[in-house]
Structure 1
Amino acid sequence: MSWDSFVEWLDHNKIMLIAVTCSVVGVGSVLVALRLWLQGPKCRSKARLDGRTVVITGANTGIGKETARDLSRRGARVVMLCRDLEKARMAAEEIHKETGNTVGVYHLDLASLKSVRNTAATLRETEPKIHCLINNAGVMMCPRWETKDGFEMQLGTNHLGHFLLTMMLLDQVKAAAPSRIVVVSSIAHTQGKMHWDDLMMKDNYDAKESYCQSKLANILFARELGKRLKGTGVTTYSLHPGVVQTELGRHIHESVNGFIHWAFHFFGKFFFKTVERGAQTTIYCAVDENIATHTGKYYSDCAEKKPYQQAESDDDSCRLWDTSIQLLGLEQYSV
């Protein structure tokens, strides 16, 4: 095609070309706007945490690491409790170089009650005051594995391990009052129910149902703990961080078919929150002055939200508390 012919073709088809261009630009603009909207708000609080100690589980990666980074920037002395010590030390060094503040690292395997007890015992010696405890670590949709103590992995790690850690550090948290306990849950609780007749799901295990149950347990725990700690100066919070593509989803391919796993990662790169944005509601619950006296509530996108009905059951929160105490042999603890 000669240049003159090409110019003539453009002249005859200019309306179509303009329409196509506008359509492409329009769709692109909508997708960009959608991505920005899905990222959610940032925590607006400028609160400083100088002189305060914050303990975070699973802080070597994902939203835990970004939470640690932000709180360290605010002046906090961050203590990271992680299963992978090598990654934790690398993350701690990275944050220390950026903020100039001390970042402590301890080993913690939430799937081992012995590990939890040992770590908690160490912290009781080294940390007289804990101003904020953030239960962030977790496992998602893994096969039916068991913890070292025979509990179903997701309930054992996401709930029971954190329950034990929290109970063993309560004196240090109370000593720092006003102080906070933040529990990272998930919108997955909306599909959860407590399988009281088979909490460990030994019969008919389903990875998704188990995960949803553990996230429901997180909210029930924060709710019940908040009631029991009223008057102590310790407030509790549970939250949904948003849908974030992190290492938490590393086991999904073992529980779903290949297409769903592919779609999860493909669309996640565009539509899921970044880890920085995914950490914002955790940060909000840890620092925002306007919710300092609120307790036992549930949050998402840096605002209080109403959880699903099953997460507001006082009977279930009390029953889960009593069951957890019994499973963990904590009858000597009184809260």
Structure 2
Amino acid sequence: MSKTYSGFTEADVSAQAGKCFVVTGANSGLGFEASRALAARGARVILACRDENKAHDAMRRIKQTTPGADLRFLSYDQSDLDSIRHAAEEIEREPRIDVLVNNAGVMIPPLMRTKQGFELQFGVNHLGCFAFTSLLLPKLAATHGSRVVVTASLAHTSGRIDWDDLNAEKSYERWPRYAMSKLANLLYLFELDRRLRIAGSSVTAAGCHPGFATTDLGRHMPGIGILWMLFRPFSNTPAMGAWPTLLAAAGPAAPGEYYGPQGFREIKGSAGVARRAHQATDPELARRLWDVSIEMTDVDPCLPP
């Protein structure tokens, strides 16, 4: 099997001079590592982050290893549709956008809601990703060969969409809601890829997951410090966890493909094609989620059915 689909690491990222990447949640974890690697290859990287101080600290750290890095901070809160719309308007000022890396997300918080009142995990992990991508599609389409990257998780395999309680008004369990949001990510990738192909668009979409990476995404997990210590030998570092992201964003990724670590049960290792649960490629679920997402966000990608 070629490196197109197996054995991909940061070392395989080619020169990216002249290209512009938007990375959401870029101040830490996988987003930071992907931004660092892309900047080191000469790309312009727009760090779309909620916390400006943390974003500037991330930019400072990137410039320590790549002094000439071309970086920009973009104020962006994926839990707020107004912020998402404003960020999309700001990006219109950029000469070009080659890749949107949807990396920002939350994991198993207590019951919380977005500014518009959506359950936080579904609102941030899926609806925010859906809205931002939809708003940027015209800008992306202006650059031939542009890409959209959607970040999912191994947790999607146990996910089920609770159509009768999408907003967690009746009940809330952290892990099932997280798994649901990650299944939504892959259903969205499936439908976005299908519609882009039908439209004959030069924009392509690919997905990724980091395996088990020791980032601060799991900060709401009880005993997280001890857990990281115990599982560190069996997990990816944040830099390694970003390899599937880099493959999807800047490697020889295939349209509609999904990438993850190639080690035991996709927990760690170099990047290649990942497995999807059968429900992640259900066309009826994907179409239904697409329509519901438009209704909930009031953002329409205007792609043919």
Is residue 257 of structure 2 the alignment partner of residue 297 of structure 1?
Answer: yes
In the TM superposition, residue 70 of structure 1 has moved relative to its aligned partner by 0.5
CA distance in 1, matches of 2:63, 2:155: 34
C-alpha distance in structure 1 between counterparts of 2:13 and 2:244, whole Å: 14
1:284 paired to 2:244: no
Alignment correspondent of 2:177 = 210
> What is residue 79 of structure 2 aligned with on the other side?
111
Amino acid of the structure 1 residue aligned with 2:249: A
Q: How many residue pairs are counted as aligned between the two chains?
A: 285
Q: Which residue of 1 is the match for residue 208 of structure 2?
A: 239
Q: Does structure 2 retain, via aligned residues, the 8 Å contact 1:43–1:281? A: no
In the TM superposition, 1:20-39 aligns within 5 A as none
Tell me the alpha carbon deviations over residues 230-256 of structure 1, each in whole angstroms, 9 at most, x when there is no partner: 221111111111101111111122xxx
Query: Mapping of 1:42-121 within 5 angstroms?
Result: 42-43=9-10, 45-99=12-66, 100-121=68-89
Equivalent-residue separation in structure 2 for 1:262 and 1:70 (angstroms): 27
TM superposition score normalised by structure 2: 0.89
Alignment partners' CA distance in 2, 1:214 and 1:222? 12
Give 1 or 2: higher helix fraction: 1
Distance 1:46 1:299 in 2: 15
Letter of the structure 2 residue corresponding to residue 235 of structure 1 = T
Partner SS for 1:54: strand
Q: Structure 1 residue 90: deviation in Å? A: 1.1
Q: Secondary structure at the match of 2:236?
A: coil
What is the Cα deviation at residue 128 of structure 1?
3.5
Q: Which has the larger radius of gyration?
A: 1
Q: Work out whether 1:313 is the aligned partner of 2:273.
A: no
Q: Where in structure 1 do 4 or more consecutive aligned residues deviate above 4 Å?
A: none
CA distance, structure 2, for counterparts of residue 236 and residue 198 of structure 1:
29
Q: TM-score, normalised by structure 1?
A: 0.82
Deviation, 1:270, is 3.1
Aligned mates of 2:244, 2:50 — CA distance in 1: 24
Q: C-alpha distance in 1, partners of 2:13/2:101? A: 19
Amino acid at match of 1:298: Y
Alignment of 1:163-174 (within 5 A): 163-174=130-141
Which amino acid in the other structure matches residue 123 of structure 1? I
The DSSP-based 3-state class of the residue aligned with 1:229 is helix
**Identical-pair percentage:** 39
Tell me whether 61-70 or 227-236 shows the greater mean CA deviation.
Answer: 227-236
What CA distance in whole angstroms lies between the structure 2 residues aligned with 1:97 and 1:282? 22
Stretches of structure 2 that go unaligned for 5 or more consecutive residues are: 1-6, 262-270
1:149 pairs, out of 116, 133, 145, with 116
- Which residue, out of 140, 159, 162, partners 1:192? 159
Name the structure 2 match of 1:10: none
Q: Deviations over 1:173-232 (max 9, x none)?
A: 111120111111100000101111111222221000000001111111111111111221
Separation (CA, whole Å) in 2 of partners of 1:97 and 1:265: 27
| Alpha-carbon offset, residue 266 of structure 1 | 2.8
Shift in CA distance, 44/266, structure 1 to aligned 2, threshold 3 Å: closer
Task: Output the amino acid matched with 1:192.
Answer: G
Among candidates 238, 241, 244, match of residue 275 of structure 1: 238
